[in-house]
Homo-oligomer: A and B are copies of this chain.
Amino acid sequence: MNKFLFGLLLTSCSALGGNSQYVNPFIGTSNFGATHPGAQYPNALASVSPFNVAHGGEQNKFEKDAAWNSRVYIHENRYLTGFSHLNLSGVGCPDAGVLLLMPTTGPLELDAREYGSSYSNEQASPGYYSAQLNKYAVKAEVTSSLRTGLSRFTFPAGQSNVLLNLGLGLTNETGASLKWVSEQEVEGSRMLGTFCYHDEDVRPVFFVARFSKAPKTFGVWKKMPRYQNVEADWIGYNDSIKPYPGYRQLLSGDDIGAWLSFDTREQEAIEVKLGISFVSMENARENLDTEQPGFEFDKLRIEAQKAWDALLDRVEVEGSDEQKTLFYTALYHSLIHPNILQDANGDYPLMGQQGVGNSKQNRYTVYSLWDTHRNVHPLLSLLYPELQADMVRSAVAMAKESGWLPKWELYGMETQVMVGDPATAMIADSYLRGIRDFDVNAAYGAMVRAAEQREHNLLRPENPDYLTLGYVPVDDEGPYDGSVATSLEYYLADFNLAQLALALGKQEDHDKYLARALNYRTLFDADTGMLRPKNRKGEWLTPFDPELGRNFEPAPGYIEGNAWNYRFYVPHDTPGLIQLLGGPEAFLRQLDATFDTGNFDMGNEPDITYPFLYNYLEGQSWRTSRRVRELIAAHFGNHPGGLPGNDDTGTMSTWLAFSMLGIYPVSPGMMDYALFRPSFSKVKIHLSAEYYPGKQFVIENPVGDLDSDKPEAFTLNGRSIDKPFVTHEDIIKGGVLKVK
């Protein structure tokens, strides 16, 4: 049923390198990177992360309820309250971070404000995390598979406990149910959702947890409400946690949990495996039985490592260990989301709330497409086309089920976060790159619906104005749907639709959508040189401060940025924009100014292709190399703060991965990669035999020139290249690119 897993296991038997050794899962766990260092299988539904963002007083610098916090783990924090089994990596909104297992010792304490512990000796590698819990002298180790987690807690002698907290979590949604099926198995559900504080988007995740040893005692607990008056005098547990020893029936409530207590010998290890499903408890159990028939921690850990090696070894690089760590950790972060959603038996929740589907093909979820359509999916298309094919098929299936392609899809819910129509770009780009084993007609139909439907358009709510005016006017704009930003996303989507139309032989469609894509020009203000907000009458927004929005404050026209951040964001027509801005010299001046005046934001998506725009200016590609080198040095590193902010489900990491390889896709829907000097002396990309004609693509780069500002010269298969670009076609045919 699971082609992906099967393929990985086969591949892992090959003799490829083992680049997972270079991954440092702590990168991104500070500086709001929002990655987690926990056990993570590639593109897996389950993961097991240390959870250290609740309570803890001064031990936790960042507390989840004290701020907008989207992180289950923060490197600066010290108070751990468990290991969560459903986690998002590099997202900006709180959700998931639920199903928390915590080992403790001594008398039972069920209040996370009390039972948390500091920790030491943290170790993390792909598929594995461990730490010593100082308060309890317990060694906690976790590993995971696609849909299950496994924890091994090594206890001292005496009373030892394992708690499963269904109340605590990163999500702002509440509610859970659980039931002890036997004294070694508990099943239940946990509500999650309200992602980005969107109230509508909620659903339960189901789980089954199984324990390697029969407990001495077990039970459940619930936080009781605050009673008043005479009831407060009588009730035993008022606004406090009530234990129910031995309780075996269904328990439900906002804040509940389950516990077991054991008599352990010195250094006795107890393992807990937990399977999850978004369909049912039965499926969670089947997932657990399928992926973990026994309790074999070391075996599962090695399987995860091999799965990572199989993916990471598709790219071989020559460079320092530090460089390899940055690169392979970036690839690692790019291979976490989208992730599998379907159960081992093929079941998955249909998009929306209409029931359960079943498919033999992998169904993916967690599409942060406003971020990832820019580079993550092009990266996957190049390196892991079989994964990208599954992701495209999943997106098309969502459209079949719900009528709409995804925008920010989370566990079958369309959360509507951010703007634009990024799935059109994501899918068209994949098709153009050669990934065509999906229902392109259905995809095209869904794209056209988004492009054309005027009313009740889920993806392009601004269509009534956009289709009439050729841009989104600033008039009625809300604080988080910038008119210029939205317009630019629509233009790019229309460009991609035009390219797909062309590929499908729909010339008229192509012409129509291409014309739309070039309407960006109507937003170009020659006076300021900016893409400037315009009202319905065609008047420029006045007054207008191009710097407003630089610190994420609301700025009319722009979302998560200012006019500078958006001024070059027409990646499908950079040459046209160069002309609008007055030609190459003027463009160069403005491009440099963007960086030099601090109006380039490495941490957010709209401008992340700007360093590569120098390649469009003759003789200036060395500036790309320099900017990229500077940006890597300034914003990335082998330490917890080594990402320039939120990883945006791998988008920042993908920027780093491409940048270190010396190639960057200029735009979704365009098959050019900008060329610049890689971080490595040699790169070897093993191409997918299933999708691409070439076997491998090699980039050679003399190490000594790494820090030089000398303009590069490129040869492809021995022939000199006029412009600093190669096409996707060039790469997938295989060959050697030399950087001189």
Residues of A within 8 A of B (CB): 65-68, 172, 174-177, 189, 191, 194, 197-200, 202-204, 222, 224-225, 227-231, 234-237, 242, 244-256, 353-355
Q: Give the contacting residue for A244; candidates B174, B202, B222; CB below 8 A.
A: B202
A174:B229 contact, CB within 8 angstroms: no
**A200 partner residues in chain B, CB cutoff 8 A:** 244-245
**A255 partner residues in chain B, CB cutoff 8 A:** 254
Taking CB as reference atom, which chain B residue is nearest A255? B254
A199-B237, A234-B197, A236-B197 given; A252·B175 CB < 8 A: yes
Report the minimal beta-carbon distance from A312 to chain B, rounded to whole angstroms: 37
A253:B254 contact, CB within 8 angstroms: yes
**A65 partner residues in chain B, CB cutoff 8 A:** 227-229, 231
Bound-state CA distance A269–B468 (Å) is 49
Bound-state CA distance A250–B224 (Å) is 22
Bound-state CA distance A244–B413 (Å) is 13
**A225 partner residues in chain B, CB cutoff 8 A:** 174, 254
Bound-state CA distance A227–B65 (Å) is 8
Bound-state CA distance A197–B194 (Å) is 35
Taking CB as reference atom, which chain B residue is nearest A196? B234
Bound-state CA distance A189–B236 (Å) is 23
A252:B249 contact, CB within 8 angstroms: no
Q: How many copies does the complex hold?
A: 2
Please give 15 more A-B residue pairs, beta carbons under 8 A apart, in addition to A68-B230, A194-B235, A202-B247.
A65-B228, A65-B231, A174-B222, A174-B225, A174-B253, A175-B254, A176-B252, A177-B189, A189-B252, A197-B236, A203-B249, A246-B353, A249-B353, A252-B253, A254-B254
A172:B222 contact, CB within 8 angstroms: no
A67-B229, A231-B172, A236-B199 given; A353·B253 CB < 8 A: no
**A355 partner residues in chain B, CB cutoff 8 A:** 248
Q: Give the contacting residue for A251; candidates B175, B227, B228, B235; CB below 8 A.
A: B175
Report the minimal beta-carbon distance from A192 to chain B, rounded to whole angstroms: 11
Bound-state CA distance A65–B234 (Å) is 12
Bound-state CA distance A191–B66 (Å) is 32
A229:B189 contact, CB within 8 angstroms: no
Taking CB as reference atom, which chain B residue is nearest A256? B175
B199:A242 contact, CB within 8 angstroms: yes
Taking CB as reference atom, which chain B residue is nearest A198? B236
Bound-state CA distance A384–B526 (Å) is 98
Q: Give the contacting residue for A252; candidates B177, B234, B237; CB below 8 A.
A: B177
Bound-state CA distance A202–B237 (Å) is 13
**A253 partner residues in chain B, CB cutoff 8 A:** 174-175, 191, 252-254
Taking CB as reference atom, which chain B residue is nearest A197? B234
A-B contact pairs, 11 of them (CB 8 A): A172-B235, A175-B251, A176-B252, A177-B252, A191-B253, A194-B235, A202-B244, A202-B251, A203-B249, A225-B254, A253-B254
Report the minimal beta-carbon distance from A247 to chain B, rounded to whole angstroms: 6
Report the minimal beta-carbon distance from A541 to chain B, rounded to whole angstroms: 27
A249:B172 contact, CB within 8 angstroms: no
Q: Give the contacting residue for A175; candidates B191, B222, B354; CB below 8 A.
A: B222
B177:A353 contact, CB within 8 angstroms: no
B197:A252 contact, CB within 8 angstroms: no
Report the minimal beta-carbon distance from A250 to chain B, rounded to whole angstroms: 5
**A247 partner residues in chain B, CB cutoff 8 A:** 202, 353
Which 6 A/B pairs are nearest by Cβ-Cβ distance?
A: A175-B253, A199-B236, A197-B234, A254-B254, A175-B252, A252-B252
B250:A68 contact, CB within 8 angstroms: no
Bound-state CA distance A172–B203 (Å) is 27
**A234 partner residues in chain B, CB cutoff 8 A:** 68, 197
A230-B67, A234-B197 given; A252·B191 CB < 8 A: yes
B235:A197 contact, CB within 8 angstroms: yes
A66:B229 contact, CB within 8 angstroms: yes
Report the minimal beta-carbon distance from A59 to chain B, rounded to whole angstroms: 18
